[in-house]
């Protein structure tokens, strides 16, 4: 735990920068998952405390921070493309500062690459350094030359937890609350345990206090976040924490992400079933429908165990949406093994499936495995599975026709159509504008694969 003294030292540095930075603008661009989004909100909070105002426009930003994701090659290439494109902006305005943080910053080979090929980047900091943003900015203003702030400890030691730093939330009605950092599961394909360190949980009191403050200030949709929330280890267990968090005053939904199939417990399902403030949405990634591949992925459950759990959730929460993640083309996956994945998808019938092409990540076990599957074959499996899932998604959504759903409005979409999300996290469009952040009741009359539409009642 970062000491209170250190938090105060950073606050004092932020305070000392305010005069210098008055009128200066900062842009924070986040890639990747909700955990990274939540980190981005803390970075934005720290920058505001230093005197910056926030902007979305690159050409007026005096400081740009790229909060990066390393989960797949594609994510990294996108970030490198964005950094590359900033070189010109930096030449045009040499006083502008550029920083990089997040999961890519935690990878040794990316740090070397940044030093060698992107020397115009001023600083880089790791995933456990958010509390030090004021100091990092002060140093960048004070002297030139790329600086790196990354825990150099072995991976089983890195990862500090801090409380009491400012947060600038990007929405006034949907909130992300990180309850734990890191991951201990070491799925063989996944970079997250290497770039986020070991699991560490915030205290239950701190989480509940944050949820209370959010409900008191009118937040309507609060998501508790962790790479594997079921291994939350605070004073309370995760199901207990969820139950308590659902008992505040106010009209709100509580969600969580993500649950690992080996740990999602009966207790969790029954807490959800017993409290309709807890959103009717269960995201339970299965990754593969074949036991040999699951074993090689180090997932520690079998196909049968997964199916049993998924069907139990569907039976206990009949009005809930069940969604999942799956990887196609894991090293050595045969056609027959892939078809077992397809069969699982047909049997369980997910509302939504996030399908990923396996992407080798430097440093993970799977990247060293023989039998990497060619890209074209991965794409073929991806397309095949997507076609199967699209039909299932349509069937699942057809079941909502004629039903009335409670929807939290998000205002209007890009084309001006009123839109929001239901407790199942389904996108719902409707006929009349409702201010963003207000609940409404929508009678569903149209079902598409990935959205529902209806009229306000
Ligand atoms: N902790 C969460 C999410 C991890 S990352 C969980 O365990 O569910 C989100 C998803 O990205 C994973 O569920 C997985 O399907 C996918 N993913 C992770 N590493 C990947 C890789 N190397 N290649 C392709 N997809 C990957
Ligand atoms: Fe990655 Fe597995 Fe941890 Fe999820 S549980 S973050 S997939 S190692
Ligand atoms: Fe990406 Fe890091 Fe999240 S690798 S998916 S931003 S934990």
The model's pLDDT over 57-112, given as tens digits with 9 standing for 90+, comes to 999 999 999 999 999 999 999 999 999 999 999 999 999 999 999 999 999 999 99
Percent of the chain with pLDDT over 90: 96
Check whether 155 has a pLDDT greater than 60. no
Shortest-distance Cα residue to atom 18 of ligand 1: 190
Averaged confidence pLDDT in the chain: 96
Contact predicate 426/454, CB 8 Å: no
Instruction: Using most ligand atoms within 8 A of CB, pick from 31, 36, 39, 42 the residue to mutate for ligand 3.
Output: 36
Is residue 69 in contact with ligand 3, taking CB distance under 6 Å? Answer: yes
pLDDT band at 157 (very low <50, low <70, confident <90, very high): low
Check whether 158 has a pLDDT greater than 80. no
Check whether 413 has a pLDDT greater than 70. yes
pLDDT band at 17 (very low <50, low <70, confident <90, very high): very high
Give distance in angstroms: CA of 183 to centre of ligand 2: 6
Is residue 294 in contact with ligand 3, taking CB distance under 6 Å? Answer: no
Helices (H), 51-203: 73-92, 108-117, 133-142, 192-196
Angle at 37 between CA 57 and CA 107, to 5 degrees: 100
Is residue 140 in contact with ligand 3, taking CB distance under 6 Å? Answer: no
Give the position, in ligand 3's atom list, of the atom nearest the Cα of 191.
4
Give the position, in ligand 2's atom list, of the atom nearest the Cα of 299.
2
Contact predicate 403/415, CB 8 Å: no
Check whether 154 has a pLDDT greater than 80. no
Torsion angle of C-alpha atoms 437, 439, 441, 446, degrees rounded to 10: 30
pLDDT band at 156 (very low <50, low <70, confident <90, very high): low
In whole angstroms, what is the distance from residue 19 CA to residue 429 CA?
46
Instruction: Using most ligand atoms within 8 A of CB, pick from 30, 33, 361 the residue to mutate for ligand 3.
Output: 33
Instruction: Using most ligand atoms within 8 A of CB, pick from 31, 32, 364 the residue to mutate for ligand 3.
Output: 32
Between strands 253-257 and 281-283, the pairing is: unpaired
Helix (H, G, I), strand (E, B) or coil at 232: coil
DSSP string, 319-332: T-EEEEEEEES-TT
Contact predicate 204/241, CB 8 Å: yes
Question: Across residues 123-131, what is the average pLDDT?
Answer: 95
């Amino acid at each position: 735990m970062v000491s209170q003294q250190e938090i105060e030292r950073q606050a004092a540095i932020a305070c000392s920068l305010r005069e210098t930075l008055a009128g200066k603008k900062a842009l924070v661009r986040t890639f990747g998952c909700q955990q990274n989004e939540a980190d981005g909100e803390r970075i934005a909070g720290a920058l505001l405390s230093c005197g910056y105002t926030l902007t979305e426009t690159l050409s007026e930003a005096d400081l740009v921070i790229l909060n990066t994701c390393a989960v797949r090659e594609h994510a990294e290439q996108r970030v490198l493309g964005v950094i590359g494109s900033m070189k010109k902006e930096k030449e045009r305005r040499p006083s502008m500062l550029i920083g990089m943080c997040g999961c890519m910053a935690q990878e040794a080979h990316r740090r070397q690459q940044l030093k060698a090929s992107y020397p115009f980047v001023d600083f880089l900091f790791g995933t456990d350094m958010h509390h030090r943003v004021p100091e990092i900015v002060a140093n960048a203003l004070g002297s030139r030359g790329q600086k790196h702030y990354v825990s150099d400890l072995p991976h089983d030691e890195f990862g500090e937890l801090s409380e009491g730093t400012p947060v600038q939330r990007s929405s006034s009605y949907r909130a992300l609350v990180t309850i734990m950092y890191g991951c201990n599961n070491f799925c063989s394909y996944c970079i997250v345990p290497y770039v986020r360190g070991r699991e560490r949980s915030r205290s239950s009191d701190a989480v509940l206090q944050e949820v209370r403050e959010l409900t008191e200030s009118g937040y309507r949709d609060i998501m508790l976040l962790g790479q594997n929330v079921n291994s939350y280890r605070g004073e309370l267990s995760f199901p207990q924490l969820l139950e308590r968090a659902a008992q505040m005053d106010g009209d709100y939904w509580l969600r969580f992400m993500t649950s690992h199939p080996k740990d999602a417990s009966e207790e969790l399902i029954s807490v959800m079933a017993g409290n309709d403030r807890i959103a009717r949405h269960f995201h339970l990634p299965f990754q593969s429908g074949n036991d040999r591949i699951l074993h090689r992925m180090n997932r520690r459950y079998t196909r049968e165990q997964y199916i049993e759990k998924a069907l139990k959730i569907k039976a206990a929460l009949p009005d809930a949406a069940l969604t999942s993640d799956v990887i196609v083309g894991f090293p050595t996956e045969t056609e027959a093994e892939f078809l077992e994945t397809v069969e699982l998808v047909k049997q369980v019938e997910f509302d939504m499936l996030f399908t990923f092409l396996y992407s080798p990540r430097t440093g993970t076990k799977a990247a060293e495995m023989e039998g990497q599957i060619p890209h074209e074959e991965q794409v073929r499996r991806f397309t095949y599975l997507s076609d199967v899932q699209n039909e299932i998604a349509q069937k699942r959504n057809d079941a909502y026709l004629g039903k009335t759903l409670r929807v939290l409005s998000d205002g209007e979409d890009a084309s001006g159509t009123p839109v929001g999300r239901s407790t199942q996290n389904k996108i719902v469009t409707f006929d009349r504008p409702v201010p963003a952040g207000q609940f409404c009741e929508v009678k569903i009359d149209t079902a598409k694969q990935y959205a529902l539409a209806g009229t306000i009642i």
